[in-house]
Amino acid sequence: MVTWTVSQWIVLGVVGIVFGLVGLRRGVNRELVVAIGVAIAIILSERIAQAVAPQVNLFHRLGRFAVSGGLTGGDPVSGWKALEGQAPLLENANDIRLLGLAVFALIVAMAYAVGQLRCASPSGPMLAMLGLLCGCVNGFMVASYLAPIVFPQHTALIAVPSAQVQATLSSEQTIARVVLVMVIVLVALGLYGARRPKDRQFPARDDSR
Please indicate, yes or no, if residue 88 is contained in any of the structural domains. yes
Please indicate, yes or no, if residue 209 is contained in any of the structural domains. no
pLDDT tens readout for residues 112-142: 999 999 998 888 899 999 999 999 999 999 9
**Residues in Cβ contact with 133 at an 8 Å cutoff, skipping those fewer than 6 apart:** 20, 23, 28, 181, 184, 185
Cα(73)–Cα(57) distance, rounded to whole angstroms? 22
Please indicate, yes or no, if residue 73 is contained in any of the structural domains. yes
Q: Does residue 68 surpass a pLDDT of 60?
A: yes
Please indicate, yes or no, if residue 205 is contained in any of the structural domains. no
**Which region among 34-38, 56-60, 148-152, 195-199 has the lowest average model confidence (pLDDT)?**
195-199
Helices 8-26 and 162-170: crossing angle, nearest 10°? Answer: 50
Q: Does residue 156 surpass a pLDDT of 60?
A: no
Please indicate, yes or no, if residue 38 is contained in any of the structural domains. yes
Q: Does residue 56 surpass a pLDDT of 80?
A: yes
Looking at residue 202, its pLDDT comes to 42
What is the tally of structural domains in the chain? 1
Cα(114)–Cα(120) distance, rounded to whole angstroms? 11
Contact at 8 Å (CB) between 44 and 107? Answer: yes
In which domain, by residue range, is 158 found? 8-195
Please indicate, yes or no, if residue 49 is contained in any of the structural domains. yes
pLDDT tens readout for residues 92-103: 888 899 899 999
pLDDT range class, residue 64, cuts 50, 70, 90: confident
Looking at residue 199, its pLDDT comes to 46
DSSP-derived secondary structure for 65-92: HHHTTTTTSS-HHHHHHHHHTSPPS--S
Looking at residue 174, its pLDDT comes to 84
Looking at residue 59, its pLDDT comes to 86
**Which region among 15-24, 79-88, 179-188 has the lowest average model confidence (pLDDT)?**
79-88
Looking at residue 45, its pLDDT comes to 94
Please indicate, yes or no, if residue 89 is contained in any of the structural domains. yes
Looking at residue 71, its pLDDT comes to 59
Q: Does residue 31 surpass a pLDDT of 60?
A: yes
Please indicate, yes or no, if residue 183 is contained in any of the structural domains. yes
Cα(132)–Cα(130) distance, rounded to whole angstroms? 5
pLDDT range class, residue 192, cuts 50, 70, 90: confident
